[in-house]
Structure 1
Amino acid sequence: MRQHHDTLTVQTRGTGFVEFTRDAARLVADSGIRDGLLTLLIQHTSAGLTITENADPDVLADLTDRLAVLAPRDPSLYRHGLEGPDDMPAHIRTLLTNVQLSIPVRDGRMVLGTWQGLFVVEHRARGGRRQVAAHVIGE
């Protein structure tokens, strides 16, 4: 059994989805692990991770719109506001998305469906550098 650790940096430009499937695939290939498991963890409390469709951009737009309805940026709704009016809604949206993903690895590649991609979901209005801790374990 072998293990490989690394960190992926994903630049976001504000609320929305940023695909990083290719970066994760490169990390798996560089690990040299043929069969095992890739675990990803976003190291932030106001952004998430998800696996969703990467073919039609309308899917990402619709998901962004629905998250805005579920956790609106209305400061009158929240107690916590020290980091700006979009911070508490970002924390709620993070609860609704994943912070950790597990993806099987077979023959040195992630086992994803045809239209599946890996995304950082930025929940803050301003973007930034998001860190995703990666761990590949297997043989």
Structure 2
Amino acid sequence: MAFEIIHGDITKVKADAIVNAANTSLRAGGGVCGAIFAAAGAEDLTRACEAVGGVATGAAVVTPGFALPAKYIIHTAGPVWHGGGAGEPELLASCYKSSLKLAAEKGCRSVAFPLISAGIFGYPKDEAMRVAEASIREFLREDDDMRVMLVLFAG
């Protein structure tokens, strides 16, 4: 359907699902992850994440959205940047593909992503953007009924 790059606060985006740039233990962190936990309701989201247990780098899991406008939070653990020779591009692409596949399985027609791994995980922003765009566009060639937003923090 559509791919848009927007500037704003992902916790306020109206979408069926938002994606959390999570750590593998699914614990509240800083940046986007901390903002999502705070906006969703930290206690409820912490309990839901503890019940899930964790997520492998490049994979995705889902919890309810709780107090967010989104019905679901899809949690994906991006790779930490080690210079690009440790499989980072493939793992990052897998984050987007796994999240979009899970969103489709849940019947989502709209999904909002942050720029995964481009914060504290150190992935160069230009490279992270290239991987994000390519992965999302590839998915939309197969499922063109979904609206996908890449939300860049405007703050």
TM-score of the superposition, structure 2-length normalised? 0.28
Q: Give 1 or 2: higher strand fraction.
A: 1
Which of the pair has more CA radius of gyration? 1
Return the TM-score normalized by structure 1. Answer: 0.30
Q: Flag the structure with higher helix content.
A: 2
